[in-house]
Amino acid sequence: MKGSSPVGGNNNNDYSFKILLTGDSGVGKSSLLLSFISNFVQDLPPTIGVDFKIKQILVGGKRLKLTIWDTAGQERFGTVISSYYRGAHGIILVYDVTRRETFTNLSNIWAKEVETYSTNPECIKILVGNKVDRENERAVTREEGLALAQEHKCLFLECSAKTRENVQQCFKDLTMKVVTINGLFPGPLINATTNDFVHVNIFNDMDEPLLFTWNGIQQRLNSWQDGVSGTNCPIQPGTNWTCVFQTKDQIGSFFYFPSINFHKAAGGFGPIHVINRNVIAIPFPRPEAAFDLLTGDWFYDSYQSTRALMGIPLVAYHTIPDIFLMNGKGPLGNPMSKSYESFNVRQGMAYRLRISNVGNASSFNFRIRNHQMVLVETEGSCTDQFALDSLDVHVGQSYSVLVTANQNAADYYMVASKLVNTSEFTSLVGNGVLHYSNSVSQVSGPLPEGPDPFDLDFSVDQAKSIRWNLTAGAARPNPQGTFNVSNVTLSQTLILQGSVANINGEPRYVVNNMSYRTPETPLKLADYYVNGTGVYQLDAFRVHYVNDDAAYGVSVVTGIHKGWIEIVFMNNLDAIDSWNLDGFGFYVVGFGNGDWSTDSRNTYNLYDPDVR
């Protein structure tokens, strides 16, 4: 397993890119290039044959070398130019918004050349409408440009070489990076069976420390393998580390992701399946096939830029993502999408969708046009089965649903929409296609509507309805009554209130008014060698009420061995708050409005709560 960013560099540059400018003569390719290279703009004669320029830029702290080839716009140079398409990492197709024929030729001539001669399957294409400074002479609308970009699966941008509007963005959009695992985004599947020992060798090919966490896997007696800040030493650049853990008494759908340095905002996540042993029957018919659907919000900026922005108060409190991705692919119909997700199904058959929210901050509602879903599992808990028209999935959660292809042969929208007013944020609607194998028509019509995004009662009531199927058995033949928690005696109670605060002018998330600061020495090492001295404070954290003043701290709370702990989360924010609880399974027993009190325990579901 390797964490890396694609496209290698050389001794002087971190990455090298070959970029090609193409389009009709006179559309301003050379002026666009000159404006980007030298910040100087002038009217230039048409290029004869091929010219090129080299520019080094800094993106997210990385040195990028761009070799940009400026091609002639005359067809008589076609046989010469064709060789320059080969191996290009990015192609910029330029038209003049004031000359209709240059736009038409992009579709009829230049896009076909790209399709014929481009040999790099990962080549990024961007359609650029130049000369928007001459708005009163416009002959091609922005909407037409967007439509053509969608048709040819290109990014889209309008710019002006003369005023330099969007010129820098035009080239930088071609260099956006993701964190790949073994060259894949999302990363490869980790497929295990109950009680397997899993060995994952992680090579860090990035230029900063890296850690992976195995979301939902219970780390019994080996918490140092959990891969979160403060528990593990980060894997340093150019080194590797082997994580070993056992999927003890577990089944279900989970995922892994990088846990530090905002790396998750650039990808690096992938699915984990823990399959039942043959002696354990699953409580639903075996589906025809299963699909992973790793969905979440996404920022166009690099993770380094996004990380830096989080240190600016006015930005940190109001930053929203740019788009929603399904398995690393953008929405159907979005000009920024190179491709969209599509699942092929056979009419009359049932399929399992393993849905995970791998985003950074956004809950979403998932639905499929004209298809109901049957909930069967959540993070290892086989649930009481019931039909759903839509499903709210919060950050870090995973669900399995069964979908039967019982409609007329056609293509149907799959939608994941952020719980906001999506009429104002249309880019925050991810969508793909459920494609019937005998369908002869393309997907059409409006996207299926979901519940009111501001109806939090819908989301809470749905969460309350998710209960463990007590008749389904478990990951082992004899569960020994561990599903029922009605007779447990509580050993501890933690009341954790999440909010935001400024500490020394820095915006920080705080719990009981304390912001955790990662120590240089992992907690487990400090515990083993120096009993925590000088690294963390033991039991100094207030677990029942909020500190008067916000502050940084490294606090550890003592847990009672073999005891039952009650954790109450109180959200003082004006947005949905998600918590990631690592290393253990937690029974979800209650939800409520307002402040918690001991009387709230009267509303707990202690009979058949699911475990997350």
Convert the pLDDT of each residue in 325-371 to its tens digit: 999 988 888 766 667 899 999 999 999 999 999 998 889 999 999 99
Q: Domain 180-275 classified CATH 2.60.40.420?
A: yes
Residues in the chain: 612
Share above pLDDT 70 across residues of the chain, in percent, rounded to a whole number: 86
Cα distance between residue 425 and residue 321, in whole Å = 10
Q: What does pTM read for this prediction?
A: 0.76
289-464: CATH, from 2.60.40.420, 2.60.40.10, 3.50.50.60, 3.40.50.720: 2.60.40.420
Which residue would you say has higher pLDDT here, 132 or 424?
132
Cα distance between residue 11 and residue 540, in whole Å = 49
The pLDDT score that the predictor gives to residue 75 is: 47
Please count the helices (runs of H) and the strands (runs of E) in the chain. 10, 32
Asked whether residue 81 carries a pLDDT value surpassing 70, the answer given is no
Which band of pLDDT confidence, cut at 50, 70 and 90, is reported for residue 422?
A: low
For residues 72 and 46, the answer to whether their CB atoms sit within 8 Å is: yes
The pLDDT score that the predictor gives to residue 177 is: 62
Asked whether residue 92 carries a pLDDT value surpassing 50, the answer given is yes
Amino acid at 217: I
Asked whether residue 426 carries a pLDDT value surpassing 80, the answer given is no
125-139 mean pLDDT: 92
pLDDT tens readout for residues 459-504 = 889 999 999 888 876 665 555 445 678 888 999 999 999 888 888 8
Torsions phi, psi of 198, nearest 5? -110, 130
CA 438 distance to own-chain centroid: 32
213-223 mean pLDDT: 87
Give Rg (Cα) of the chain: 27
Which band of pLDDT confidence, cut at 50, 70 and 90, is reported for residue 193?
A: very high
Q: Print the SS3 string covering 511-548.
A: ECCEEECCCCCCHHHHHHHHCCCCCCEECCCCCCCCCC
Asked whether residue 300 carries a pLDDT value surpassing 60, the answer given is yes
Domain boundaries defined on the chain: 2-175, 180-275, 289-464, 490-586
The pLDDT score that the predictor gives to residue 37 is: 79
Choice among 31-40, 50-59, 525-534 with the minimum mean pLDDT: 50-59
Cα distance between residue 254 and residue 216, in whole Å = 6
Contacts of 464 (CB under 8 A, 6+ apart): 591, 605
Which residue would you say has higher pLDDT here, 302 or 231?
231
Asked whether residue 87 carries a pLDDT value surpassing 80, the answer given is no
Q: Domain 490-586 classified CATH 3.40.190.10?
A: no
The pLDDT score that the predictor gives to residue 11 is: 52
Which band of pLDDT confidence, cut at 50, 70 and 90, is reported for residue 5?
A: very low
The pLDDT score that the predictor gives to residue 184 is: 79
Task: For domain 2-175, give the CATH number.
Answer: 3.40.50.300
Amino acid at 475: A
- Phi and psi based region of residue 328 (left: phi greater than 0; alpha: psi -120 to 50; beta: remaining): left
Cα distance between residue 57 and residue 54, in whole Å = 10
Are 180-275 and 289-464 in the same CATH fold? yes
Contacts 24+ apart (CB under 8 A), 509-514: 510/550, 512/541, 512/542, 512/543, 512/545, 512/546, 512/547, 513/546, 513/547, 513/548, 513/549, 513/550, 513/551, 514/541, 514/542, 514/547, 514/550, 514/551, 514/552, 514/553, 514/555
- Pick the most confident of 203-212, 276-285, 389-398, 415-424: 389-398
ω into 186 cis (within 30 of 0)? yes
Q: How far is CA 360 from CA 24, 138, 178, 475, 487, in A?
A: 42, 40, 15, 30, 37
Q: How far is CA 352 from CA 198, 289, 290, 376, in A?
A: 24, 6, 4, 9
Strand partners, 517: none
pLDDT tens readout for residues 395-409 = 999 999 999 999 999
Asked whether residue 187 carries a pLDDT value surpassing 60, the answer given is yes
For residues 564 and 491, the answer to whether their CB atoms sit within 8 Å is: yes
Mean pLDDT taken over the chain: 84
